[in-house]
């Protein structure tokens, strides 16, 4: 039997980028730029992004999502496979979120890169809250309230620090020791006061921007505590039966979603109040693409409560992965392999 000649199969090199490579090159500022551009192009109808299929692995309390996107105008084509296993940190010492991204060349379909998707998920999830806060939070926002002290909570604070003059943050986690560690690390990293608190109300009252980045399935604070002028980024929950935000705050706030379609299918924070009849669909003011492209204004007064709900979109991954790949090629990072 004859072997197939390489000429016909066309060998090519693929760049493997580890989490450490990505950590070295990817900054929050650049991730925010990439994600903002992706939302503009998405709004212009230049992105293709089928709704992500999800497989629930009930036997092991896990969820795995397959997230493809093509963004024309940016030439980003990628798919991320991401798993969400909330018991991982306690059970296996592994992160809740694990992911891998394949980045393709849109011209030929050729695989350009295989990269870690965990760090990119955290960076682009922070970045989308950064973009939302840039348009929706008060310019003078100085105090942050952070719910959850895990992986996403770190990039949430990094992102809002990038777009607003944040001087102090309060962090609440159901595990006080986790909040304490987060506070120490983030204070050191950003050079601001990060203070662990023992009650949810202390991460709400007096805060200008609140980020919820928990694995909770039920509301993490009482919506009546939220003061006028606050902006909230809700990023933790992304299945219809789970929510971090109660119906009170959803009703009180001007709501911007990452995607109408995705949030109406996946975001319990929106779906549950809809089912309760507390809000109707037209209570959703805009999607982020409409706001960044200027077709709808973001914040228009100092006293409105604004709320950005993100379930996470594949365009965020594709745009960030392409940016990381270009930077890695430029700085000679990563390892080339032939598949």
Q: Which of 147, 136, 149, 153 is nearest to 230 (CA)?
A: 136
Q: Who's near 268: CB < 8 A, 6+ residues apart?
A: 217, 237, 239, 240, 241, 242, 243
156 lies in the binding site for ligand NAD (CB under 6 A): no
* Binding flag, residue 173, ligand NAD (CB under 6 A): yes
Q: Of 244, 295, 233, which Cα lies nearest the Cα of 270?
A: 244
90 is catalytic: no
Alpha carbon of residue 114 to chain centroid:
20
* Residue 220: C-alpha distances to residues 76, 216, 242 (Å): 36, 7, 11
Instruction: Find the binding residues for ligand NAD in span 222-261 (CB under 6 A).
Output: 235-236, 238
Q: Which stretch binds ligand NAD (CB under 6 A): 109-117, 148-156, 284-292, 296-304?
A: 148-156
Quote the CA–CA distance of 212 and 233 in Å, as a whole number: 6
When asked if residue 145 is in the footprint of ligand NAD (CB under 6 A), the reply is: no
- Those residues whose C-beta lies under 8 Å from the C-beta of residue 339, and which sit 6 or more positions away, are 14, 111
* By the rule CB under 6 A, 89 interacts with ligand NAD: yes
Residue 152 sits in the site that holds ligand NAD (CB under 6 A) = yes
Q: Among residues 333, 310, 218, which one has the least CA distance to residue 260?
A: 310
- Indicate the residue among 84 and 183 with the shorter CB distance to ligand NAD: 84
* Span 46-65, contacts to ligand NAD by CB under 6 A: none
Q: How many CB atoms lie within 10 A of CB 12?
A: 13
# chain residues binding ligand NAD, by CB under 6 A: 29
- As measured in angstroms, the least distance from the Cβ of 294 to ligand NAD is 24
In whole angstroms, what is the distance from residue 190 CA to residue 103 CA? Answer: 31
Binding part of the chain for ligand NAD, among 14-22, 49-57, 103-111, 142-150 by CB under 6 A, reads 142-150
User: Closest Cα to residue 203, out of 175, 173, 180, 242?
Assistant: 173
Please identify which of the residues 40, 80, 202, 254 carries the catalytic annotation: 80
Is residue 133 at the binding interface for ligand NAD, with CB under 6 A as the rule?
no
> Which 308-337 residues touch ligand NAD, going by CB under 6 A?
310-312
Identity of the residue, 165 or 176, whose beta carbon is nearer to ligand NAD in the bound complex? 176
Strand 143-147 with 47-48, pairing: unpaired
Kindly tell me which of 150 and 268 has the beta carbon lying closer to ligand NAD: 150
**Which residues face 17 on adjacent strands?**
115
Min dist CB 140 to ligand NAD, Å, is 27
Cα separations in angstroms, 15 against 176, 247, 297, 331, 335 = 41, 46, 41, 13, 6
Q: Which is nearer to ligand NAD, 151 or 166 (CB)?
A: 151
- Contact between 150 and ligand NAD per CB under 6 A: yes
31 binds ligand NAD (CB under 6 A): no
Contact positions toward ligand NAD, by CB under 6 A? 84, 89, 96-97, 121, 125, 147-153, 172-175, 178, 213-216, 220, 235-236, 238, 310-312
Residues annotated as catalytic are 80
């Amino acid at each position: 039997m004859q072997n197939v000649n390489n000429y016909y199969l066309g060998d090519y090199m693929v760049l493997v980028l580890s989490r450490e490579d990505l950590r070295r090159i990817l900054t929050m500022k650049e991730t925010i730029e990439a994600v903002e551009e992706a939302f503009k192009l998405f709004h212009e109808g230049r992105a293709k992004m089928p709704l992500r299929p999800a497989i629930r692995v009930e036997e092991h309390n896990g969820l795995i999502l397959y997230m493809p996107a093509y963004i024309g105008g940016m030439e980003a084509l990628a798919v991320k496979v991401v798993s969400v296993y909330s018991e991982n940190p306690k059970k296996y010492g592994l992160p809740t979120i694990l992911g891998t991204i394949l980045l393709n060349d849109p011209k030929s379909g050729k695989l350009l890169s295989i990269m870690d998707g965990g760090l990119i998920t955290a960076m682009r999830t922070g970045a989308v809250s950064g973009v939302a806060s840039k348009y929706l939070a008060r310019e003078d926002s100085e105090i942050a309230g952070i719910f959850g002290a895990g992986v996403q909570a770190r990039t949430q604070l990094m992102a809002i620090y990038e777009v607003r003059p944040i001087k102090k943050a309060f962090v609440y986690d159901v595990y006080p020791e986790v909040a304490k560690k987060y506070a120490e690390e983030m204070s050191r990293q950003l050079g601001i006061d990060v203070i662990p608190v023992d009650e949810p109300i202390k991460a709400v009252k007096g805060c200008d921007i609140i980020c919820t980045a928990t694995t909770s399935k039920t509301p993490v604070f009482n919506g009546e505590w939220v003061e006028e002028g606050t902006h909230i980024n809700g990023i933790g929950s992304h299945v219809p039966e789970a929510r971090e935000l109660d119906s009170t705050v959803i009703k009180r706030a001007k709501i911007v979603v990452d995607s109408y379609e995705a949030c109406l299918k996946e975001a319990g924070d929106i779906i549950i109040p809809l089912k309760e009849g507390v809000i109707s669909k037209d209570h959703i003011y805009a999607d982020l693409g409409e706001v960044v492209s200027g077709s709808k204004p973001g914040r228009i007064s100092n006293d409105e409560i604004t709320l950005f709900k993100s379930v996470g979109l594949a365009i965020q991954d594709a745009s960030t992965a392409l940016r990381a790949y270009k930077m890695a090629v430029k700085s000679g990072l990563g390892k080339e392999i032939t598949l």
